[in-house]
Structure 1
């Protein structure tokens, strides 16, 4: 640290790494072709700016068709959006869709703004990013230490691979935060989070 002093800059929420998750069910006679198309899609994504990593999880259950979950990670939401909206991705999806019986809706874990959509009347802008970051860190810390262990114990009876259990746990946790916890938290803390403008005071 220099004599003049320095400080550590925290990354803005919209500059944090983001992931996108896609679950696919290949057609039984085309399992090999389906897996090959997945690798082609990942290879295409890896050529885009901001690409960081990809993981493929295989779900195998007795008497049920094989399913795959693809997780792509980018360094920012903007870079992930460039890939998602690209003609390259659209072309690969069009060429491979006949290999799959089902492609579930894509789940994107992005920045923090979408968790603070529950704005009170008279507010048109999201809270300051430092407030969103603070609230989200506290909520995630509580979830990781209180909810995730419980989900882990429940999923331990499923017989699924540990990595797939982790994926399910993350999806459950994020879903709870999106639809239950964050709306309740933003409602409880709305006076602190948001700046409410009284339009009548301006007249």
Structure 2
């Protein structure tokens, strides 16, 4: 395994951003945020981005699940690549375009320590294998995070609805980290091991 390949997957970072969208601005916000996610995809180290709508994983629409809260997930392979995106003019332009459609301050939660999910196969023996390509890491990360967040919103959405925004986000993201690290990610990497780490074809 080359040193650059190892370093690239050593410290992946996932950022969960929560925004409150103004009434009637949801379509414009979704379109604008979609362009921002597309812009992030062009940056080095980008692993994935996903927009979570208020109706995804909540009872929503009845006023008890705060249907104006939207969540966005950005993932990069290193903190340095995340910082490069966060300091970029493209992100600044995206934030300026999103601002007219939101109210209040955005809530940002950074999650780290995900690299060990894909460092090498679960239970691997002998020499370390080459880590999977970034697009496979992105696919498996999304396969784990999306249903986990969805299930947590279904189970805890109404219970946490009366809480202030920041404590609610802190609880949900902490649960996502715990579940992904000790429950979801180990099973996904085990189930998808042949796809993530295909056996090299020996020369005849």
- Work out whether residues 77 and 111 of structure 1, in 8 Å CA contact, stay in contact via their aligned partners in 2: no
Alignment partner, residue 149 of structure 1: none
Alignment partner, residue 75 of structure 2: 73
Which stretches of structure 1, 4 residues or longer, exceed 2 Å deviation after superposition? 10-16, 102-105, 152-160, 167-170, 172-176
- Work out whether residues 9 and 77 of structure 2, in 8 Å CA contact, stay in contact via their aligned partners in 1: no
Shift of the 39–103 alpha-carbon distance from structure 1 to 2, 3 Å rule, reads: farther
Shift of 1:168: 6.8
Where do 5+ consecutive residues of structure 1 fail to align? 1-5, 113-151, 161-166, 177-203
Which of 31, 38, 41 is the aligned partner of 1:36?
A: 31
Shift of 1:100: 0.7
Q: How many aligned residue pairs are there?
A: 125
Shift of the 106–89 alpha-carbon distance from structure 1 to 2, 3 Å rule, reads: same
Where do 5+ consecutive residues of structure 2 fail to align? 115-150, 160-168, 179-204
Shift of the 21–36 alpha-carbon distance from structure 1 to 2, 3 Å rule, reads: same
Shift of 1:156: 2.3
Alignment partner, residue 108 of structure 1: 110
**Separation (CA, whole Å) in 2 of partners of 1:156 and 1:94:** 34
Alignment partner, residue 48 of structure 2: 53
Root mean square deviation, CA, Å: 3.8
Alignment partner, residue 23 of structure 1: 18
Shift of 1:81: 0.7
**Separation (CA, whole Å) in 2 of partners of 1:37 and 1:154:** 24
Shift of 1:110: 3.2
Alignment partner, residue 156 of structure 1: 155
Instruction: String of CA shifts for 1:112-171, please: whole Å, max 9, x gaps.
Output: 9xxxxxxxxxxxxxxxxxxxxxxxxxxxxxxxxxxxxxxx899726469xxxxxx87652
Residue 15 of structure 1: SS of its match in structure 2? coil
Instruction: String of CA shifts for 1:81-135, please: whole Å, max 9, x gaps.
Output: 10011111011101220111234232112359xxxxxxxxxxxxxxxxxxxxxxx
Alignment partner, residue 134 of structure 2: none
Shift of the 13–110 alpha-carbon distance from structure 1 to 2, 3 Å rule, reads: farther
Residue 38 of structure 2: SS of its match in structure 1? helix
Shift of 1:23: 0.5
Residue 44 of structure 2: SS of its match in structure 1? coil
Q: Relative contact order, CA 8 A, sep 6+: which one is greater?
A: 2
Shift of 1:28: 1.1
Shift of the 57–168 alpha-carbon distance from structure 1 to 2, 3 Å rule, reads: farther
Alignment partner, residue 93 of structure 1: 95
